[in-house]
């Protein structure tokens, strides 16, 4: 079975500082990894994904994530946080071992950027 | 291009009543997914349509939940009779292709409150 862990319920960071939102995963095969963001009263928006290739993936709004196979992690990062980045962030994984596999989401991490 | 839309945005019903949620996917997207997020928990998969056929309904909680996608366009999710534990936010998502690497596009969700 596949699973996703987001160990932090909330992350607080000062505006202009770098931010990291953590995600670790477990799959039996190779993972497809995704980050989504949910702004208040909005649906989830796709940020970025790792399928194959370069371990550092760049996405929307200046976000990036690094795939680390040995640590089974896919942490979301941004060099300089904005107040407008405050939202709920979800990590998701899909097993690429073949056959049909649904997406499994993490519990979500609330990011609060403090002015 | 219009995004995924869901109706209603909020619904408050009493235990034992019936509620029907609607999702209109992005035009041309054959794949339609339903998810549910109970407050503070992870986003849980409910089911997946490919056109009008159910590809995977393993996440449906019980037979009080009925999903349909007649004609392969919009989908409805009916809860009958509703129970208190059905409260949560119901998300719909769509994607163009079934390949695991394709991201899903989410609607804003329907917040269901059962009292």
Read off the pLDDT of residues A1-33 as tens digits, 9 standing for 90 and up: 789 999 999 999 999 999 999 999 998 888 899
Q: Does B109 touch chain A (CB under 8 A)?
A: yes
Structure tokens given for B87 = 């409260």
CA B90 to each of CA A46, B26, B87, B101: distance values in angstroms, whole numbers, following the listed order: 17, 17, 9, 23
Structure tokens given for A84 = 């407008």
| Contact in structure between B107 and A41 (CB atoms under 8 Å) | no
Residues 6+ apart with CB under 8 A from B57: B46, B47, B48, B67
Structure tokens given for B36 = 């549910």
* B4/A43 touch (CB, cutoff 8 Å), yes or no: yes
As a whole number, mean pLDDT of residues A58-63 equals 94
Read off the pLDDT of residues B22-55 as tens digits, 9 standing for 90 and up: 999 999 899 999 999 998 888 999 999 999 999 8
The per-residue pLDDT for A53 is: 87
Indicate the range of A52-61, A62-71, B10-19 predicted with least confidence: A52-61
Q: pLDDT band for position A35 (50/70/90)?
A: very high
> Which residues on neighbouring strands pair with residue A73, listed in sequence order?
A24, A68
* B43/A105 touch (CB, cutoff 8 Å), yes or no: yes
The per-residue pLDDT for B98 is: 63
The per-residue pLDDT for A95 is: 81
Read off the pLDDT of residues B65-96 as tens digits, 9 standing for 90 and up: 999 998 889 999 999 999 999 999 999 999 88
Element (H, E) at A44: strand A44-50
Sign of CA dihedral A26, B53, B41, B63: negative
Read off the pLDDT of residues A75-103 as tens digits, 9 standing for 90 and up: 999 999 999 999 999 999 988 766 666 88
pLDDT > 70? residue B101: no
| Contact in structure between B87 and B38 (CB atoms under 8 Å) | yes
Q: pLDDT band for position B102 (50/70/90)?
A: confident
* B93/A51 touch (CB, cutoff 8 Å), yes or no: no
Structure tokens given for B41 = 């928990």
Read off the pLDDT of residues A40-56 as tens digits, 9 standing for 90 and up: 878 889 999 998 889 99
**Chain B closest-CA separation from residue A44 CA (Å):** 5
| Contact in structure between B9 and B78 (CB atoms under 8 Å) | no
Read off the pLDDT of residues B2-17 as tens digits, 9 standing for 90 and up: 799 999 999 999 999 9
Q: Mutation target for B interface from A7, A26, A42, A103: give the one with most B CBs within 10 A.
A: A103
* A43/B44 touch (CB, cutoff 8 Å), yes or no: no
Q: pLDDT band for position B104 (50/70/90)?
A: confident
List B residues 23-62 in contact with A (Cβ-Cβ < 8 A): 33, 35, 40-45, 48, 55-56, 58-59
Q: pLDDT band for position B1 (50/70/90)?
A: low
Residues 6+ apart with CB under 8 A from B63: none
* A44/B42 touch (CB, cutoff 8 Å), yes or no: no
Q: Is B25 helix (H, G, I), strand (E, B) or coil?
A: coil
Partner residue opposite A101 with nearest CB, options B4, B100, B109: B100
Separation CA B55–CA A99 (nearest Å): 12
Which is more confident, A58 or A101? A58
As a whole number, mean pLDDT of residues B88-111 equals 86
The per-residue pLDDT for B99 is: 62
Partner residue opposite B56 with nearest CB, options A36, A44, A102: A102
CA B60 to each of CA B12, B54, B92: distance values in angstroms, whole numbers, following the listed order: 21, 12, 14
């Amino acid at each position: 079975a596949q699973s996703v862990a987001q160990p932090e319920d909330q992350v607080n960071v000062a505006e202009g500082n770098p931010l990291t939102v953590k995600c670790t995963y477990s799959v039996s095969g190779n993972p497809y990894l995704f980050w989504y963001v949910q702004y208040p009263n909005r649906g989830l928006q796709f940020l970025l994904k790792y399928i194959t290739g370069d371990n550092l993936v760049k996405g929307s709004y200046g976000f990036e994530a690094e795939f680390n196979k040995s640590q089974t992690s896919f942490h979301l990062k941004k060099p300089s946080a904005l107040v407008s980045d405050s939202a709920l962030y979800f990590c998701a994984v899909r097993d690429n071992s073949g056959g049909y596999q649904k997406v499994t989401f993490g519990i979500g991490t609330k990011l609060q950027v403090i002015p | 291009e219009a995004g995924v839309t869901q109706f209603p945005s909020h619904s408050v019903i009493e235990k034992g009543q019936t509620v029907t949620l609607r999702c209109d996917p992005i035009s041309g997207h054959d794949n339609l997914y339903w998810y549910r997020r109970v407050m503070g928990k992870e986003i849980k998969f409910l089911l997946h349509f490919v056109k009008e056929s159910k590809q995977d309904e393993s996440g449906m909680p019980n037979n009080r939940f009925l999903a349909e996608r007649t004609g392969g366009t919009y989908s409805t999710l009916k809860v009958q009779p509703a129970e208190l534990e059905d409260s949560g936010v119901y998300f719909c998502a769509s994607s163009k292709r079934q390949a695991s690497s394709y991201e899903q596009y989410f609607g804003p969700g329907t917040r269901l409150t059962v009292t």
